Structure 1
Amino acid sequence: MLVRDPSKAERALSPLGVAPGAVDVVAGDVTDGASVARAVRGADAVLHAASVYSFDSRLHARMRQVNEQGTEIVLGAARRAGAGRIIHVSSIVAMFPARGRVIDEDSPVGRPRETYMASKAAAEVVARRHQAEGAPVVITYPPALLGPHDPNLGDQVSRVRSVLRGLTPIWPLGGFPVGDVRDTAALHARLLAPPGDRPGDRPGGRPERHFGPGRYLSTRQYVEVLREVTGRALPAVFLPAHAMIPVGLFVDLVQRVWPWHIPAEYGAIYTCACATRLAEGVSTHGISPRPVTETFGDTVRWLHGSGHLSARQAGSGRPSLSSVTTH
Structure 2
Amino acid sequence: MPVEPVFLARPRIAFVTGATGLLGNNLVRELLADGWQVRALVRTLEKGREQFPNGDIEIIKGDMLNVSDFEAVLKGVDTVFHTAAYFRDAYKGGKHWEELYAVNVDGTRLLLECARRQGVQRFIHTSSIAVLYGHPGQQIDETMLRAEEDADDYYRSKILSDQVVLSFLNDHPDFWATIVLPGWMHGPGDKGPTSAGQTFLDVAHGRLPGIPPGSFSIVDARDVARGMILASERGRRGERYLAAGQHMTMAELIPLIARITGARSPTRKLPLPLLYLIAAGNEAFSRITGKHVLLSWATVRTIAREAGRSHYNPRKSEQELGLKFRSPIETLQDEANWFQENGYPLSR
Q: TM-score, normalised by structure 2?
A: 0.75
Q: Does 1:6 align with 2:6?
A: no
Deviation digits for residues 53-91 of structure 1, max 9, x if unmatched?
Answer: 212226825334222221121122222323221011111
User: What stretches of structure 1 of length at least 5 have no aligned partner?
Assistant: 193-197, 317-327
Give the corresponding residue for 1:44.
Answer: 78
Give the corresponding residue for 1:290.
Answer: 326
Please say if residues 146 and 299 of structure 1, whose CA atoms lie closer than 8 Å, have aligned partners that are also in contact.
yes
Cα–Cα, structure 1 residues 231 and 165, in superposed 2: closer, same or farther, change >3 Å?
A: closer
Aligned length: 297
How many Å apart are 1:260 and its aligned residue?
5.3
How many Å apart are 1:239 and its aligned residue?
4.2
Structure 2 CA distance for aligned equivalents of residues 114 and 167 of structure 1? 28
Q: Does 1:272 align with 2:306?
A: no
Give the corresponding residue for 2:263.
Answer: 232
Query: Which amino acid in 1 is paired with 2:107?
Result: G
Mapping of 1:195-214 within 5 angstroms?
198-201=233-236, 207-214=238-245
Please say if residues 27 and 35 of structure 1, whose CA atoms lie closer than 8 Å, have aligned partners that are also in contact.
no
Give the corresponding residue for 2:347.
Answer: 315
Cα–Cα, structure 1 residues 213 and 143, in superposed 2: closer, same or farther, change >3 Å?
A: closer
How many Å apart are 1:261 and its aligned residue?
4.8
Please say if residues 216 and 247 of structure 2, whose CA atoms lie closer than 8 Å, have aligned partners that are also in contact.
yes
Give the corresponding residue for 1:319.
Answer: none
Give the corresponding residue for 1:68.
Answer: 105
Give the corresponding residue for 2:196.
Answer: 156
Cα–Cα, structure 1 residues 249 and 289, in superposed 2: closer, same or farther, change >3 Å?
A: farther
Query: Which amino acid in 1 is paired with 2:105?
Result: E
Cα–Cα, structure 1 residues 242 and 77, in superposed 2: closer, same or farther, change >3 Å?
A: farther
How many Å apart are 1:217 and its aligned residue?
0.8
Larger-gyration structure (1/2): 2
Residue 147 of structure 1: which of 187, 200, 225 is its match? 187
Cα–Cα, structure 1 residues 47 and 231, in superposed 2: closer, same or farther, change >3 Å?
A: same
Give the corresponding residue for 1:105.
Answer: 142
Please say if residues 132 and 144 of structure 2, whose CA atoms lie closer than 8 Å, have aligned partners that are also in contact.
yes
Q: Does 1:191 align with 2:191?
A: no
Give the corresponding residue for 2:15.
Answer: none
Query: Which amino acid in 1 is paired with 2:168?
Result: H
Deviation digits for residues 208-230 of structure 1, max 9, x if unmatched?
Answer: 22112511111111112112212
How many Å apart are 1:40 and its aligned residue?
1.8
Please say if residues 187 and 222 of structure 2, whose CA atoms lie closer than 8 Å, have aligned partners that are also in contact.
yes
Cα–Cα, structure 1 residues 258 and 9, in superposed 2: closer, same or farther, change >3 Å?
A: same
SS at match of 2:189: coil
Give the corresponding residue for 1:179.
Answer: 219
How many Å apart are 1:298 and its aligned residue?
1.8
Q: Does 1:29 align with 2:63?
A: yes
Residue 299 of structure 1: which of 316, 335, 340 is its match? 335
Query: Which amino acid in 1 is paired with 2:143?
Result: D
How many Å apart are 1:278 and its aligned residue?
0.8
Q: TM-score, normalised by structure 1?
A: 0.79
Deviation digits for residues 115-166 of structure 1, max 9, x if unmatched?
Answer: 3323222222222322444441111111111112223222211121123233
Cα–Cα, structure 1 residues 84 and 293, in superposed 2: closer, same or farther, change >3 Å?
A: same
Structure 2 CA distance for aligned equivalents of residues 250 and 120 of structure 1? 28
Query: Which amino acid in 2 is paired with 1:176?
Result: F
User: What stretches of structure 2 of length at least 5 have no aligned partner?
Assistant: 1-39
Structure 1 CA distance for aligned equivalents of residues 73 and 159 of structure 2? 25
Structure 1 CA distance for aligned equivalents of residues 117 and 140 of structure 2? 32
Structure 1 CA distance for aligned equivalents of residues 162 and 135 of structure 2? 17
Query: Which amino acid in 2 is paired with 1:263?
Result: L
Query: Which amino acid in 2 is paired with 1:293?
Result: I
Give the corresponding residue for 2:119.
Answer: 82
Deviation digits for residues 217-264 of structure 1, max 9, x if unmatched?
Answer: 111111121122123332143345477446435534433544655432
Query: Which amino acid in 2 is paired with 1:153?
Result: P
